[in-house]
Amino acid sequence: MSALSIDGVAIEDTFAEAFDMRATRLIVTAADRTWVRHAALSATGFATSVIACGCEAGIECELSRRETPDGRPGVAILIFAMSGKDLQKQLERRAGQCVLTCPTTAAYNGIAREAAREWLNLGASLRYFGDGYQISKLIDGTRYWRIPVMEGEFVCEEKVGLVKSIGGGNFLILARDQGAAVAAAERAVQNMRKVRNIILPFPGGVVRSGSKVGSKYKTLMASTNDAYCPTLVGVTRSSLPAGVGCVLEIVIDGLDADSIGRAMREGIRAACARGSERGVLAITAGNYGGKLGPHHFHLRQVIA
């Protein structure tokens, strides 16, 4: 089998291992872009990893006035969790504390009716904040709740759809130094953000602290991925080729495998563009030997 490379950057013949998750899409609108971003950033904050955040969430895309149910500027938010129960809890908390509280906002279901496997409570839970003054309206077959708040009314749909999804798609950028790695990751993220149905849950879409399963400390379920830490070369069984001084990972959660694969392809191509002269040395991916997650994204196929 021939060695893989793009623009002189070696692509390791391995695969990213991803696992099943549950997800929902929330459409948040507001009077203008400023407030819709405030709400979206707040609702998707502290949601980088299910390891400690309870969910993984991010902004999928911005929506124009024509794309939202109420004709106002909006964003689509994707929230991923390990189970429907976890997702319900996170949805309630985040919509209740970050969207309901944000001036001028409204929240709608973003999952197509026919695609939803189950339904999560949105307004059906948040309505109790109205203390009996809440109003239900059935508009065109969809039930909305109108919750009186000091600013006016918070409008949201009663339910949002739940879909099966995939979390943990990833690839690693191995670069000569920190500057080269960050620049490559930024190029990758910029391209990947154009793909729908996915989010990059870590700050700026990039994670510097990729983890392995388990730890020498019993209380930790994950710990630093020592095989890819440049500062541990020489003291641990390192997986880093010679010359690598910095590694960054991009994690992708998506509603379907195709979207994750497309995002990986866009990201890897952007990271590798003129890679050899920009200090990008190799691309690889994180897996657990194929034993943990049922979804395998082979880099050879992804970049084909």
Partner 1 sequence: MAALRLKLRAKPPCLIDASPLVPDALAGKSRAELDRIQLQGWNQTFALGDLFRVSGEDARELVLDGLDGSLVRVGASMQSGTLTIVGHTGDYAGESLRGGTLTVRGHAGDYLGAGMRAGSITVSGDAGAFAGSARAGHTKGMTGGTILVHGNAGDRAGDRMRRGLLMIEGNAGLYCASRMLAGTIAVLGQVGTHAGYLMRRGTLILNDATSQPLPTFNLNGQPELLAIRLLVAWLVRRNPAFRPLTQARFTRWLGDLGAEGKGEMLIVSPTL
Q: Which residues bind partner 1 (CB under 8 A)?
A: 69-71, 106, 133, 135-140, 144, 146, 152-153, 155
- Residue nearer to partner 1 on the CB measure, 114 or 140: 140
Give min distance, CB of 28 to partner 1, in A. 13
Residue 240: CB atoms within 10 Å = 19
Structure token digits, residue 294? 């049922």
Distance CA 255, CA 198 (A): 6
Residue 65 backbone phi and psi in degrees, to 5: -60, -35
Give min distance, CB of 124 to partner 1, in A. 17
Distance CA 224, CA 286 (A): 13
Give min distance, CB of 207 to partner 1, in A. 37
- Residue nearer to partner 1 on the CB measure, 67 or 256: 67
Distance CA 45, CA 29 (A): 17
- Residue nearer to partner 1 on the CB measure, 139 or 242: 139
Residue 101 backbone phi and psi in degrees, to 5: -80, -15
Give min distance, CB of 104 to partner 1, in A. 8
Distance CA 212, CA 191 (A): 27
- Residue nearer to partner 1 on the CB measure, 46 or 133: 133
Element at 267 (helix H, strand E) = helix 257-272
- Residue nearer to partner 1 on the CB measure, 72 or 265: 72
Give min distance, CB of 152 to partner 1, in A. 6
